[in-house]
Amino acid sequence: MPFIKFFFTCSFIFVFISSVYNQSTDADKVKVLNNYVNFSNESTHGLLIVHRLLENFNKNINKFVDLPDQQINFYSNKDLPQDIFEDPENWFYDISPNEWYANINIDVAFLKWYLHIQPRRLQKKTIETKLKNSAAEMKSTISAVNKIRFELEDQIKTLDLTKRENLSLVYDKLEEGVKLYKNFYVKQHILEGDIITYYKTLKFTPEEMQFPAVLSAIDGVYKTSRNALEGLYNKEDDNFSDIIKAQEAALAKFEAINLSDYNSTHLINSRVQINWLNIKRKSSESLKAQKAFSESENVPEEYKLYDKYYYYYNISVINKFNRYGNGMVFEMNRMIDYLGIPVLRYFEMPHYFKVIYPKLLEKTDFLAASDPVVKALPKVVKGRNVVTATRTIKVDSFLVDLKMYDHKIVHKDVVSLNFNGDWIVEKFEISEKPFSFTLKLNQEGKNFLLLHADDMGRQPPATIALSYKYRGKKELIILNSDTLKSEVIEIIVQK
């Protein structure tokens, strides 16, 4: 009798669960997919917290190396959660990345059972396995990032940092962080691709997919803004002006929509209206930052040791995109949640980390470009048109020694000099005393120097002389610039 009762109880549970799941719609599956997006986005938020810690630690250890009397102002791990991605006291998240990961595993367990009793759906099993594996690899990565905090603290406490070999261990540990952040970026893109592939297999009714024009406008702003960030991350900015134009077109389409024209209480809701206005505002601010990058505006002092890509990606542009810059993606996802439409939430973009070495440990005495391949000379820089010099600088080596000075009467010209998109000299007063520097030219693409006038002194335009050697002979080039235009000259290697 007990066995028969147990058998019928199990049979009832099996039939009940099967019935419930068979009644589930594809809209329910979108909620499962969005749990992966939530896990990724909250992990990105946690990675930002550790990123700032590692960045500050890197700067402080550099000060200690260059100035031995400097105290290392190391962050205290005891003042933070043991696991940044757990956060039991909800300092940083409403739901932590680890909690979202637990939810994913519950979803996966149910899907495994469902696939077992629904053979016709086995074709989706491969994708669902990929989703689980990608999430597991991302979880492993964020755990390793969290662990670095404590490993660095242990090194500071136990190693004699006056010894060069011990310093190398600290910088090696920081370089591990670089790899982990890159790994998360790669795994997130794989996860996102598989989620989109799965989503495309789902079917929805017109009644479920309301407000298609509104959704299309949001999607356009997201994708074009995302393209700009991807270009900065990968240093693929040769067509950045086209990316900006595409985003301007997407924003114009977005701004052309008046939510009040829709006969929907959802769209005229005050929260949705605020989300909509914030998306518009953040997109405009993002465009402004992208244009500043495109026109080679100056990078703030504290980020000059990095490069323009690092600053514009990690700070200036991403802050208008991700949640913890109060960016547009948060507003987009809030709208999606409130409207209850079965569409995928949007992914935020993870930061990347870069180690900066102190002057004492720098192995190079030359200036290298942050852009590895320059395909075209600039046309506009800092709002000024750029004219190309009629001559070129011909050199016989990829390492070039140059001297910059005023070759005639000193007029107290103040200039800035740009090499391949990076400002290597800023607001420098030219004199008869040469300013010497060495450039490492890119082996692919173009190389250039651009003169920008900050103050034309007593007699416009601002003028500099550049001297260098070509095949053992001294050469001299003159560049001019005024407040309306800058002059650019191409450097060509001819051995």
Per-residue pLDDT tens digits for 106-141: 765 555 544 454 544 545 568 888 999 999 999 999
Question: Where would I find the H helices in 240-389?
Answer: 240-255, 270-294, 308-311, 328-339
Q: 476 forms bridges with which residues in the sheet?
A: 467
**DSSP per residue over 339-358, as a string?**
HT---PPPPP----------
Q: What DSSP letter does each residue of 64-122 carry, written as one string?
A: HHHSTTS---PPPGGGS-SSTTT-TT-SS-SS-HHHHHHHHHHHHHHHHHHHHH-GGGG
pLDDT for residue 19 is more than 70: no
Query: 163 with 201, same domain?
Result: yes
Residues 280 and 255: beta-carbon distance below 8 Å: yes
Would you say 471 and 490 are in contact if contact means Cβ atoms under 8 Å apart? Answer: no
CB 208 within 8 A of CB 341: yes
Report the percent of the chain where pLDDT is more than 70: 87
239 inside domain: yes
Asked whether residue 329 falls in the same domain as residue 426, the answer is no
Q: Which of 341, 358, 379 is the last residue of a domain?
A: 341
- Report whether pLDDT(372) > 60: yes
- Region label for 478, one of left (φ > 0), alpha (ψ between -120 and 50) or beta (otherwise): beta
| 29 and 143 inside one domain | yes
Residue 347 lies in a domain: no
In this prediction, residue 20 has a pLDDT band, given cuts at 50, 70 and 90, of very low
The distance between the two most distant Cα atoms of the chain, rounded to a whole number of Å, is 111
**Calpha distance 447→493 (Å, rounded):** 9
Q: Report pLDDT digits (tens) over 405-434.
A: 987 766 778 999 999 999 999 999 988 889
Question: Which of 82-96, 99-113, 232-246, 467-481 shows the lowest mean pLDDT across its residues?
Answer: 99-113
Report whether pLDDT(282) > 80.
yes
Instruction: Give the range with max mean pLDDT: 75-79, 269-273, 350-354.
Output: 350-354
pLDDT class of 10 with cuts at 50, 70, 90: very low
CA distance 427 to 416: 5
**Strands (DSSP E) along 350-391, which ranges?**
367-368, 380-381, 384-388
Same domain, 266 and 394: no
Are 325 and 413 contained in the same domain? no
Query: Tell me, what's the pLDDT at 73?
Result: 53
- Look up the pTM and report it: 0.83
Q: What angle do CA 273, 277, 283 make, to 5 degrees?
A: 145
| Overall number of domains in the chain | 3
| Whether residues 245 and 162 fall in one domain | no
Domain assignment of residue 270, given as a range: 210-341
184, 206, 228 - which closes a domain: 206
d(CA 74, CA 61): 8
Final residue before a domain boundary, out of 179, 206, 233? 206
pLDDT at 305 (0 to 100): 85
pLDDT of residue 81: 86
Whether the Cβ atoms of residue 188 and residue 347 lie closer than 8 Å to each other: yes
Q: Please tell me the distance from the alpha carbon of residue 138 to that of residue 223, in angstroms, as a whole number.
A: 23
pLDDT for residue 108: 58
| Max avg pLDDT among 5-14, 164-173, 361-370 | 164-173
**Amino acid 65: pLDDT:** 80
Q: What Å distances lie between residue 424 and 237, 258, 416, 418, 427, CA to CA?
A: 20, 47, 8, 6, 10
Asked whether the beta carbons of 333 and 30 are under 8 A apart, the reply is: no
* Mean pLDDT of all residues belonging to the chain: 87
Residue 491: strand, helix, or coil = strand
**pLDDT, mean of residues 220-224:** 98
